[in-house]
Every structure is written in C-alpha cells, then in structure tokens.
C-alpha cells in the first residue's frame, strides 16, 4: 500500500512539474531588416522563423513563445533603438535575427550591457569573430569570410589566373571580398567597393572590362545582386562570374538566362541531403511556392537550436546566463547536416558551390555542385580570447 502511495505521489509530482514547465513562457525577440534595401532578406528570415515555430507548435523547450518583432531597416542607429525597446520595454529573454553586418556590430554592445544573447542568423562580422568576440553573440549562419575564402579556392581549382574583385562598401563587403582575395592564388587586377545605395554599375563594369580579367568575383546582397548580375550580362562581359551568396532561390525569378552559369558559394543549398532538410524544403515549398533560401534556413536552424537549449533549463524564470552558455554546447539537427560552434561562437561547417542552371521545367534553378570546402573554420578565431 505504501509502495503504491509513493508511486502515485511520484507520478503526481512529475505531472505537476511538467504542467508547471508547460505553463512557463519564453519571451523571444526577433530583429531583422523587414523594410529598406535589405527588406527582402529580413522577410525571408521571418519566413524561416515562422515555419520553425509552426513545426514546434509555438513552443521552445516546452514553453509557450511570446514573440516580439522589430524592424531594423538595416540601419545601425535604428537597430540600436529597436534593441532598446526589446530589452527595456518587452524584457525579452533572448534575441535572434540580425540582417546586415554593420547593424549587428552596433547591436551587440547594448545586448551585452543587458546581459542578453543575440543568436545571429545572417552575417558574421570579422571583428566579432576575432579580438572583439563576446559571449553575448553567436552567429549560427556563417562568418563572412567563410563563403568567399572557399570561393577563392574554387576559382583556383577552375584554373583562373587573372581576376577582378568588386563588392558593396560596408563590413560584409570588406569581409567577403577580402576573403576571396586572400585565397585566390592568381593575379589580382584590382578591387572596387561601391556605396550600399548604388544600383547602376555601368562605370565599374567598364573599368573591369578594360582590365581584361579571366573572371570576376563580386559580393552584392539583396536588390543590388539582381541589378549587378543583370548589368554584368548586358555589359558584354562573357567571362565567369563568381560570388559568395548574392544570388539565392529568393531572387532567381528576377533573373533571365543571362545569369546561367554563374557560380556562388554558400553554407546552405536546398539540395543538401538529410532528413531535416527534406522536411524543411518540402514544407517551405508547399507554403511559399519555391525552395527556401539560405536566409530562411539559418533562421529556421536558430529556432531549432533554441528549442533544444530551452528544454534543458529548469522550470520557472529563464536563466539567461545558462541559456547563453548552452547555445554553444547543445547539439541539434541542422538542415545543413554537421554543424558546431567554434570557441569564438562562429560556425565550423561545410561551404558549398552552386551554379545557376535551367531546370527541366524551363525555370532557373540554383543547383548544388558540391562541397567547395569542408569543415571550414574562420581565420579570426585565433584572435578571440574566449575558450582558450
């Protein structure tokens, strides 16, 4: 009788503990450029976020999610203002998102001061990977140089001997172009950076044509990528165009056949073979009528990681410091396959080569060529004092 009573009490206490945990909530802050020149990227991050929460029944680790969304407009000053609202007004437990590297650089300081964590889902500025690394920032997406260093190596493998480099004039542009320059072993004929607002590249393309390179490496995100690739084809340049991201499934419909053959590097492609990615691609395609982009994939992964992290926290008030520590050590199933954080909170991951080709349906497709570089670590990790 006593044993039965003890068993009943144990079951009852376990049920009460589960119920208490289930009634707990987590306040999740999401910030992205939902308007402005990079608004198309932020909107795609939001799609990845929403699909992940849908798959998890709007719960993280069993806790109901209270979601607070902020539009940074990819403007550092605006991003800081919005972070202040998430911290002071909404009192969020953790923040995810971030679209442009320059806004991420600006956001990290107030997040650090508040004792919170930003789980970034786009960009990985080189200063935050190196000497300015901080426990309060993780990039689940990439460190900027990873894509382009892999592409520089790929250009070598393709036998390119003379190349020209061009990109957008901000932190990510400097990182991406610098990464490709660093690993490219041929002759560097020149480098151009253009303002973030510029969409007419005729003068720069004329300058490139005059240099007579065998190939061009370019980094442009969002609408600038569409403008650059179209104008590149119209300029008469018939040499290979290599890039880190820039063109993604998000933008394919905006291109014509002139973009066929362009090669891009990325940490994600919808063709990656694993069960998690198959489900993600199938459900995303069903809901949005196209394959997911890298921006959606990174944000989806972030939510899936947070689910595993929060599940390890005790019931009651969120232990924000413990949550921060667990992000770096908690295994989860990424749509990219193998994934882990380096000691500087940047990913160690494969970088893939992908090419624009015409599919059987006559539409352009971004097809996976293969792995450009395996288990890529960023070069700045050696400068980061964390974890040493």
Q: What is the pLDDT of residue 223?
A: 81
Q: What is the pLDDT of residue 295?
A: 96
Rounded CA separation 222/199 (Å): 11
Residue spans of alpha helices (H) in the chain = 2-23, 39-55, 76-84, 101-113, 126-129, 144-157, 171-183, 202-211, 222-234, 275-288, 294-310, 320-327
Range from 24-28, 147-151, 258-262 carrying the lowest mean pLDDT: 258-262
Mean pLDDT of the chain: 92
Q: Indicate the pLDDT class of residue 388, thresholds 50, 70 and 90.
A: low
List the CATH code of the domain at 145-266+350-381.
Answer: 3.40.50.2300
2-142+272-341 with 145-266+350-381: one CATH topology?
yes
Q: What is the pLDDT of residue 172?
A: 87
Q: Indicate the pLDDT class of residue 253, thresholds 50, 70 and 90.
A: confident
State whether CATH 3.40.50.2300 applies to domain 2-142+272-341: yes
More confident residue, 302 or 171: 302
Q: What is the pLDDT of residue 14?
A: 46
Task: Give the orientation angle of helix 294-310 with respect to helix 39-55, to 10 degrees.
Answer: 40
Among candidates 355, 354, 348, which has minimal Cα distance to 374? Answer: 348
Residues ≥6 apart with Cβ < 8 Å to 190: 164, 165, 207, 208, 211
Give the C-alpha distances (Å, rounded to integers) separating 260 from 107, 148, 255, 280, 352.
Answer: 38, 20, 9, 26, 18
- Tell me the average pLDDT across 314-326: 97
The answer to whether the CB of 303 falls within 8 A of the CB of 283 is no
**pLDDT per residue as tens digits for the range 55-96:** 999 999 999 999 999 999 999 999 999 999 999 999 999 999
H or E stretch at 26: strand 25-32
Rounded CA separation 171/221 (Å): 12
In this prediction the pTM is 0.87
**Residue 195 exposed, middle or buried by CB count within 10 Å (0-12, 13-18, 19+):** exposed
Q: Indicate the pLDDT class of residue 165, thresholds 50, 70 and 90.
A: very high
Q: Indicate the pLDDT class of residue 4, thresholds 50, 70 and 90.
A: low
Among candidates 228, 231, 203, 227, which has minimal Cα distance to 218? Answer: 228
More confident residue, 249 or 53: 53
The pLDDT of residue 53 is above 80: yes
- Tell me the average pLDDT across 41-51: 98
Q: What is the pLDDT of residue 180?
A: 96
**pLDDT per residue as tens digits for the range 341-352:** 999 999 999 999
Rounded CA separation 92/302 (Å): 16
Q: What is the pLDDT of residue 361?
A: 86
Rounded CA separation 38/16 (Å): 46
The answer to whether the CB of 313 falls within 8 A of the CB of 322 is yes
The pLDDT of residue 16 is above 70: no
Among candidates 305, 384, 374, which has minimal Cα distance to 342? Answer: 384
Q: What is the pLDDT of residue 127?
A: 95
- Tell me the average pLDDT across 330-338: 95
The pLDDT of residue 228 is above 80: yes
The pLDDT of residue 121 is above 90: yes
Q: Where are the domains of the chain?
A: 2-142+272-341, 145-266+350-381
The pLDDT of residue 17 is above 80: no
Start-to-end CA distance of the chain, whole Å, equals 56
Over pLDDT 90: what percentage of the chain? 77
The pLDDT of residue 105 is above 70: yes
- Tell me the average pLDDT across 271-300: 97
Give the C-alpha distances (Å, rounded to integers) separating 346 from 106, 134, 142, 328.
Answer: 18, 11, 7, 9
């Amino acid at each position: 009788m006593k044993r039965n009573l003890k068993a009943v009490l144990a079951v009852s206490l376990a049920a009460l503990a589960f119920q208490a945990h289930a009634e707990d909530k987590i306040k999740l802050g999401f910030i992205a450029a939902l308007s402005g020149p990079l608004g198309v990227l932020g909107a795609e991050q939001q799609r990845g976020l929403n699909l992940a929460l849908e798959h998890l029944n709007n719960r993280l680790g069993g806790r109901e999610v209270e979601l607070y969304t902020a539009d940074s407009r990819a403007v550092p000053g605006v991003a800081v203002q919005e972070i202040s609202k998430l911290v002071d007004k909404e009192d969020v437990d953790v923040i995810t998102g971030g679209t442009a590297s320059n806004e991420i650089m600006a956001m990290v300081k107030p997040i650090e001061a508040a004792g919170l964590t930003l789980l970034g889902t786009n960009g990985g500025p080189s200063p935050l990977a190196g000497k300015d690394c901080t426990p309060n920032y993780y990039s689940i997406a990439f460190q900027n140089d990873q894509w382009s260093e892999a592409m520089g190596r790929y250009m070598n493998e393709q036998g390119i001997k003379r190349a020209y480099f061009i990109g957008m004039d901000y932190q990510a542009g400097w990182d991406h172009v610098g990464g490709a320059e660093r690993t490219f072993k041929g002759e560097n004929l020149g480098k151009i950076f253009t303002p973030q607002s510029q969409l007419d590249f005729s003068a720069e393309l004329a300058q490139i044509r005059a240099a007579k390179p065998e190939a061009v490496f370019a980094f442009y995100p969002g609408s600038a990528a569409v403008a650059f690739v179209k104008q590149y084809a119209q300029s008469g340049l018939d040499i290979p165009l290599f890039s880190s991201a820039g063109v993604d499934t998000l933008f394919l419909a905006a291109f014509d056949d002139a973009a066929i053959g362009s090669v891009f590097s990325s940490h994600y492609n919808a063709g990656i073979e694993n069960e998690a990615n198959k489900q993600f691609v199938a459900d995303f395609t069903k809901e949005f009528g196209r394959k997911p982009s890298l921006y959606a994939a990174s944000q989806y992964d972030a939510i899936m990681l947070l689910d595993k992290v929060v599940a390890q926290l005790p019931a009651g008030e969120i232990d924000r410091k413990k949550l921060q520590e667990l992000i770096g050590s908690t295994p989860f199933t990424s749509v990219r396959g193998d994934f882990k954080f380096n000691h500087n909170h940047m990913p160690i991951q494969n970088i893939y080569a992908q090419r624009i080709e015409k599919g059987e349906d006559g539409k352009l497709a971004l097809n996976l060529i293969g792995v450009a570089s395996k288990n890529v670590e960023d070069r700045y990790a050696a400068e980061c004092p964390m974890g040493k």
